[in-house]
Every structure is written in structure tokens, then in C-alpha cells.
Amino acid sequence: MSTETVSRVLVAGGPEGRPVRPAGAPPAAAGPVVVVEPVGAWGALHLRETWEHRELLLFLTLRDVKVRYKQTVLGLGWVVLLPLLTAIVFTVFLGNVARVDSGGVPYPLFVYSALLPWTFFASAVTSGAGSVVGSAHLVTKVYFPRVIVPAAAIAARLVDFAISFLVLVGMMLVYQVAPTRNLLMIPVLVVLVSLLSFAFGLMLAGINVRWRDVGMAVPVLLQLWMFASPVVYSASMVPARWRTLYNLNPVVGIVGNFRVAVSGGAFDWPALGISAAATVVLLALSAYVFARVERNFADYI
């Protein structure tokens, strides 16, 4: 137990005050009662302790990857098939039937280049939201920075993203889309969407422990969110009078610019700036919310 995260250690009969007993716990027969709390309301990230527990983070990440595809016939092949099949469905109905304007980019590449960051974001948020409840056997038995649990769930999705990205490279070759220097923005956008996913995943993971309705509602809300983001259509199709409000969606600047990084064109820097600012604000808010609720995890899990 690191001394950095122990903001208050109360010992029965000690000089710092009366003893504190966690809710629901039986009265202690004898001995000290120790309460471990984060340092301040923003201490949920535990950056130093998380780094000290990096091996646990790696272990939980690999565990998530292995468990998810264990007992499946195709294994990691599902990582490629899921976004690819989704792209085929959208290509048939929106690209060929509805004739959605793709700005001269082949529609399969157009939609897949946006589905890639979106699929990562949606799956990372869903996994992060249920991560703490799914790791009840760890959370209730041993101390470690709880932030590691949603962080590992989201890191596991990065493995999926890396594999799916190879399909995108193959599609660029098939459709003879020459790479441009815009590709240099890909790492920046990946970091940004990872941080945004972590912000939402961390907040929802904490709230989901108390109210399990969150875990049920997240997949449905993400489906609606996808159609409010430029995944199957271009942001240029949104009427100009709604564009400012539309860009407040933090996913717009990431998904739209990821597509530009792949197929070329001019980046939408204002939208990207809004996404970056929203990510910073959401990270701070998520750390605050998680710090407020994590002390009661053992009571509700």
C-alpha cells in the first residue's frame, strides 16, 4: 500500500480521531481499522501507483484479450470480420442503394476508415463500463489502483484496433489510394480517441457499480451516437446552421479527421480542437466521479 494514496489512516483509540468503519462491515473486535482513500477528489488516476502496478495492467489486458476469444472458432479473426461485415452492410444499403455522397472516395474505404476509430471507441466504452463489476473478485479482495481495471479493458481494445488497421491498409492498396503526409496524424488521433474512450469508460465504470442500468443502456446509446457522428456519411452533409452544435460531439473531430488522414484532404482543425478540449474536460470529470464512488465499490459489488 503506497503512502501516496493513503490520505487518512485512522487507528482505534489513536490521536487522529474516532475510528472509521466501512458501511456494512461488522464491528471490529480488536485491532486497528484502516481506511484507504485517494488523495483529494482528483486522485482516482493514481498515476504513480498505476505505473508501479504496470505489470498488473499488462496482465489484465492480456487476460481480457484471451478470455474474449477463448472457445471461439475464428479467434482473433472476429476482430477483422466484425468491422468488415459492418462496412459491407453499409456499403450495400447506403453506398449502392441510398447513394450517400462519399466525396469521390470509394464508399467501402470511406465507411471503413470511419468505422475503425468508431468501433474501437464504442467497444472500449462498453468494455470499460462493465469492467469493475466484471472484476468483482479482484476489487473486493486485494488493494490496487482501481483505475487499472477500466484502463486494461480499454487497452485490450487497442489490440483489436491494431489488427483491424491492417485491413484498412489492404483496402488502400486495393482501391489504389496513395498515402499522403496526412497519415502522420494517425498516431495523434489514436491517442486522442483512446483518451476519450478512457474518460467515458472510467466514468461509466464507477457509476455502473451503483446503478447497473448504465451497463444496459450504454450499447443502445452508442448505436444512436454512431448515427449522430460522421461514420456512414460525411460531416459536410450536415447543414451549416447546425455545424457548430454538431461539432460539440467530441467524436466528430476524431472520426472525421481520421478519414481525412486516410483518404487525403483538409483537416477540420476547429472540430479537432473541440474534441481535444472535450477530452481533457471529460478526463478531469471522470477522475472526479470515479474518486467519489470508488470508496464504496466493495459495498455495492
Q: If you average pLDDT over residues 141-153, what whole number do you get?
A: 89
Model confidence at 250, in pLDDT bands (50, 70, 90)? very high
pLDDT at 269: 95
pLDDT at 232: 94
- Identity at 230, one-letter amino acid code: P
pLDDT at 98: 85
Q: Output 46-52 pairs: Cβ under 8 A, ≥24 positions apart.
A: 46/4, 46/5, 46/145, 46/147, 48/2, 48/4, 49/2, 49/4, 49/5, 49/144, 49/145, 50/145, 50/147, 50/148, 50/151, 52/2
172 has a pLDDT exceeding 60: yes
pLDDT at 1: 46
Model confidence at 32, in pLDDT bands (50, 70, 90)? low
pLDDT at 6: 45
Instruction: Give the list of residues 6+ apart from residue 97 with CB closer than 8 angstroms, or none.
Output: none
pLDDT at 26: 56
Q: If you average pLDDT over residues 11-23, what whole number do you get?
A: 45
Cell (9 digits) for 221: 446509446
Look at residues 226, 222, 236, 267 and name the one whose alpha carbon lies nearest to residue 100. Answer: 236
pLDDT in tens, 196-233: 999 999 999 999 998 888 888 999 999 999 999 999 99
Q: If you average pLDDT over residues 262-279, what whole number do you get?
A: 94
pTM for the structure as a whole: 0.82
pLDDT in tens, 116-136: 999 999 999 999 999 999 888
Model confidence at 44, in pLDDT bands (50, 70, 90)? low
Which has the minimum average pLDDT: 6-10, 45-49, 235-239? Answer: 6-10
pLDDT at 97: 87
Cell (9 digits) for 295: 470508496
Model confidence at 105, in pLDDT bands (50, 70, 90)? very high
271 has a pLDDT exceeding 80: yes
Average model confidence (pLDDT) across the chain: 84
